[in-house]
Structure 1
């Protein structure tokens, strides 16, 4: 499916927090091993870097296994410790946004790719998508229905609903 829409060198940018919640919407989990293989199969030798942006929590040792698995599978990790923000007495919110870091990596690598694939539905990425297109690059957005902004769908050269890739990327237990 993806191969029909990409041209030249392909870089992938994965908004880990957004995809975490997208999986809840989908009702199934993504296998990052299968996801990488999907990109290899679709892009072949044109597959460049695959970045994953995710907050880490040193109080969750099982997350280290996940991060190690990503690195073993060739993902380029961008992590920082999750922030615990007090909302009210005894109520905390967890924050680990990477919008700026992801956008900076896109800009830093703009001359290296011809097609960017963004796994996120966050409308905060609209300006970076506009910048990608302004530089005559293709942009493909992958997310799920009810978890992607209309603005991103309209801006992208192609939107791919992750639900359609379930048989290729689902984590089986």
Structure 2
């Protein structure tokens, strides 16, 4: 059952009756939501709008069948955006799971590397693609590393914090314990294909909340086995930043940076 948690949601819903009806059909049993936020956050570049965590939680809480909203996100102490996201998730009563973001330093020191070597570039480009490159391309890329070294740059920082294992385990445990009949996954990551397939095989209903061209081919292939995909563009007005209800513009304008 849909019972708007705020007056704003109620007002928007008057013009979105078909969407609400569709969602009531999706959330028609014990439902749990799993949000892979590191995967979801970059969607703003494609969507042209951002997800407001407070408004998202209020909207999901408007459906009585949703019993838990699990939120997975890395934490980088002292970082403005990371601190803000953690506080918002806690304040809005998400079931928050977090762990420290790993910061890796990748060497780009070219001093002992041959001009045609792929040792450095292979850290950033998949080997299958490297095999397609001509030697001149590799030499060109290594020359750019040399330019960076001349400017005093010898390392590139790369941040990593995946929750694929944790989310997959949590979904399967909830399945085993019969905590839910309907599993809502906010992600498009191919790493979830195995877990999703197991849930479907167990007779559970699984719905991917995502947006166009952000779903891996491995997950898309499971549509034939029963995976449903719901385009979150349909619920934009319920969950976007308030100022984005009136305008469209740079999706990163005003966003805290890492």
Same fold (TM over 0.5): yes
Query: Using the alignment, how far apart are the partners of 2:83 and 2:44 within structure 1?
Result: 20
What secondary structure does 1:109 align onto?
helix
User: Mean alpha-carbon deviation: is it higher for 69-78 or for 92-101?
Assistant: 69-78
Q: Which residue of 1 aligns with 2:92?
A: 73
**Which segments of structure 1 move beyond 6 Å, counting only runs of 4 or more?**
none
The Cα of 1:69 is off from its aligned counterpart by 1.8
What secondary structure does 1:59 align onto?
coil
Q: Which residue of 2 aligns with 1:155?
A: 222
Q: Which residue of 2 aligns with 1:113?
A: 180
Unaligned runs of 5+ in 1: none
Pair 1:129 & 2:196 matched: yes
What secondary structure does 2:241 align onto?
coil
The CA RMSD over aligned residues, in Å, is 1.6
What secondary structure does 1:121 align onto?
coil
Q: Which residue of 2 aligns with 1:101?
A: 166
Q: 1:25 to 1:60 in 2, by over 3 A?
A: same
Cα-to-partner distance string for 1:41-65 (whole Å, 9 max, x where unaligned): 3x32x21111111110003145323
The Cα of 1:78 is off from its aligned counterpart by 0.8
Is contact 1:142-1:162 (8 Å) kept? yes
Query: Using the alignment, how far apart are the partners of 2:232 and 2:220 within structure 1?
Result: 13
Is contact 1:57-1:81 (8 Å) kept? yes
Query: Using the alignment, how far apart are the partners of 1:154 and 1:138 within structure 2?
Result: 16
The Cα of 1:6 is off from its aligned counterpart by 2.8
Unaligned runs of 5+ in 2: 1-21, 108-153, 244-258
Is contact 2:36-2:163 (8 Å) kept? yes
User: Mean alpha-carbon deviation: is it higher for 3-12 or for 49-58?
Assistant: 3-12
Q: Which residue of 2 aligns with 1:54?
A: 73
The Cα of 1:75 is off from its aligned counterpart by 0.4
User: Mean alpha-carbon deviation: is it higher for 62-71 or for 111-120?
Assistant: 62-71
Query: Using the alignment, how far apart are the partners of 1:153 and 1:23 within structure 2?
Result: 21
1:72-91 superposed matches below 5 A: 72-88=91-107, 89-91=154-156
Is contact 1:5-1:158 (8 Å) kept? no
Query: Using the alignment, how far apart are the partners of 1:33 and 1:153 within structure 2?
Result: 29
The Cα of 1:37 is off from its aligned counterpart by 2.1
Pair 1:165 & 2:235 matched: yes
Query: Using the alignment, how far apart are the partners of 2:205 and 2:73 within structure 1?
Result: 24
Cα-to-partner distance string for 1:138-173 (whole Å, 9 max, x where unaligned): 000011112111332342532111122111111124
Q: 1:100 to 1:40 in 2, by over 3 A?
A: same
Cα-to-partner distance string for 1:100-130 (whole Å, 9 max, x where unaligned): 0111111221110000000001011000101
Is contact 2:27-2:66 (8 Å) kept? no
How many residues end up aligned between the 2 structures? Answer: 171
